[in-house]
Structure 1
Amino acid sequence: MVRPLQPAARRLLLAAAALMICCLAGRASATVVTTCRAAADSDPRVDYGFCVAELGMHRESPDADAWGLAKVAALTGVNNADDAVYDIKALLADNKPGGPAPRAALEQCAKLYDSAGLAFAEAEDEINNRRYAAGKAKAAEGVSLARQCDDALAKAGAVPSPVAQRSSYAVKIADVCTAITNLIM
């Protein structure tokens, strides 16, 4: 006669199965899953699902340890900022951003996101050189620059912001980068 599993054992078995399925599907390595879990457990701002999904897609993630994943998070912030600049330039090229004030705000945002991309790149460089506090500060700077864009667009009357998703992403990936960096400090 087979004994039924205790609830704790059943949860453990299901978690192991989910981890194995994730890894086999190529979506995320065990290190991504466990590092994101540790980051989310240590910092309530970290969205576990977002962390696994975003870091799991990066080409450097399968072979990365926590230190490498902190750098991947910063590089993902660079990519987001670059995409924001591209989106803003596309809006400006349409010549329909809503008049002179929103146009000026969009031009300012392009500069701010360009600087945000540089801040995230510097965060990766600082983490790579094991200057963790400086890396976290640079990631926070990237978020600050994205928020300055939101503020400029709001003042110009561009509500909702045409780059709201980019700003939200910058915050989430900076939170992931910071939490993972805190794990390795």
Structure 2
Amino acid sequence: MKPNLLYFSLYFLLIFFFNIFHATTAHRSNLIQETCKKCAQNDPIVDYKFCVASLQSIPRSHNASLHQLGIISINLNLSNVTHTRSYIKKLVKQKMKKNKETLDYDPYVRACLVDCFDLYSDAVSTLKQAIKDYKSSHYEDANFQVSSVMDASTTCEDGFKEKQGVVSPLTKRNKDVFQLSAISLSIINMLR
């Protein structure tokens, strides 16, 4: 084979493989947007922008399959729940300061925080089980586990609303757990 023909053949093969790699990578990175679009269409609870931002925040999601996006979303939720649990623990221990005086939280707020701490403690172990169920393709069980975490975030938030004038210090965190749960559930349902 002549050297020019050899170089041309190698160049052609490199271009060919680059195009295949680029097409696969582009498809995978668009998969996040496509998945979030389907999630939002199938479930009006899912916020498309939140879904995309959440999944794109994990670098390995850019080359993930739909199945991998599901496990990433559950892991994101687990991380969020774990951080929220730690935050609640800190709030329960924390005392509010006012003019050099230390005041405890309103007993009702403290009781709500303790209830939320218990809910989020259970949610940590529940999501760990959901991950095991998901990985072993027990999607119905994973669906049940993630649904219970979604309910826990709502129960936590609703506890503060039972007394007039009480504002939840966990509203954003509860909404995030709710959204992450909704995203996971939507992906699980796509795979069933």
Q: TM-score range by the shorter chain?
A: 0.7 to 0.9
Aligned residue for 1:10? none
Structure 1 partner of 2:155: 148
Partner of 2:95, secondary structure, is: coil
Cα deviation digits, residues 48-75 of structure 1 (max 9, x gap) = 1111100111143123211111111111
Normalising by structure 1, we get a TM-score of 0.77
Cα separation, partners in 2 of 1:38 and 1:134, compared to 1, 3 Å:
same
Unaligned runs of 5+ in 1: 1-22
The answer (yes or no) to whether the contact 1:119–1:139 under 8 Å persists in 2 is: yes
Give the conservation status (yes or no) of the 8 Å contact 1:102–1:156. no
Cα pair distance change 1:115/1:60, threshold 3 Å: farther
- C-alpha displacement of 1:157: 5.8
Number of residue pairs aligned between Structure 1 and Structure 2 = 161
The structure-2 alpha-carbon separation of the partners of 1:158 and 1:90, relative to structure 1 and needing over 3 Å to count, comes to farther
Aligned-residue identity in percent: 24
Aligned residue in 2 for 1:99: 106
Unaligned runs of 5+ in 2: 1-24, 97-103
Secondary structure in structure 1 of the residue aligned to 2:108: helix
Matched, 1:40 2:47: no
Q: Does 1:84 align with 2:91?
A: no
State the secondary structure of the residue aligned to 1:60.
helix
Cα distance in structure 2, aligned partners of 1:30 and 1:147: 31
Query: Structure 1's 158 and 147: CA in aligned 2 closer, same or farther, altered over 3 A?
Result: farther
CA RMSD of aligned residues (A): 2.3
